[in-house]
Amino acid sequence: MSTRHQTRFVNIRQPAAYLFTPPESPLPDPWAVVALHGYGQTPQLLHDYARRLTGDTAWVAAPRGLNEFFLRPLSANPEVAYNWGTAAHWSEAIDRHHQLLLAVLENVKRESGVSAARTLLMGFSQPVGLNYRFAGTHPGAVRAVLGLCGGVPKHWETLELQPITAALMHIARDDDEFYPRDVAAEFGSRLRLRAADVEFQMIPGKHRLPSAGAELVAPWIERVFGVPARQS
């Protein structure tokens, strides 16, 4: 006797945590950064990187990936890490990512008074493509999107998205283990199919957060938000 299995769904409430810190040197016209970590990382990593990247003038929020797992589970003290989903259920991961971001952005606006027009969304690795999708699904939700060592979504050219009004900056690596140079070199032109304001940089190195990120991003942040990214 054979059994046919069918998939059913139920809606459940899931806590979604994020780190949140105010600026030490707030500006008259405040701004905020929402920073998403990569696969197998923690929000603390991107929170601290965003703070180094932007100096002490911005509010910084760093959401925690919605999926928890152990790195090296058989070790004596396994480290807990997070991710944003798997290819097996990617459509669900996209929906959950969008829902989380909308909720976090609303909280940031309520607590800090920072508007969408003064908010930067950034991500490293896995959430980069998700963030680009978000910008095309919710135009006006953020002013700018910064992608670090991630990819442009598959089928980007044919996805049902709205024109992206946010300014985009993508930083790729020329020796990235996950995005070969010839593939990454096309990300800038592909993003321009959806967005009018796109900056693209290819820098040396492997799949890592740029150690000189502040120097790379500072002119772009100053142009888009009208304030220096880092102040002495």
The domain limits of the chain are 18-225
Phi first, then psi, for residue 23 (nearest 5°) are: -75, 145
CATH number given to 18-225: 3.40.50.1820
Cβ–Cβ < 8 Å for 194, 163: yes
In a structure prediction context, what are the per-residue pLDDT tens digits for the chain, which is 232 residues long? 567 888 888 877 778 899 999 999 999 999 999 999 999 999 999 999 999 998 899 999 999 999 887 887 777 788 888 999 988 889 999 999 999 999 999 999 999 999 999 999 999 999 999 999 999 999 999 999 999 999 999 999 999 999 999 999 999 999 999 999 999 999 999 999 999 999 999 999 999 999 988 899 999 999 999 987 564 4
Give the separation between CA 158 and CA 198, rounded to whole angstroms: 19
Residue 132, token pair as written in the block? 């680009």
Q: How many residues does the chain have?
A: 232
Give the separation between CA 89 and CA 62, rounded to whole angstroms: 24
What is the bridge-based pairing of β-strands 32-36 and 18-21?
unpaired
Angle between helices 43-54 and 213-225 (to 10 degrees): 70
For Cα atoms 182, 165, 57, give the angle at the middle one, nearest 5 degrees: 90
Q: Residue type at 50?
A: A
State CA 32 to chain mean position distance: 13
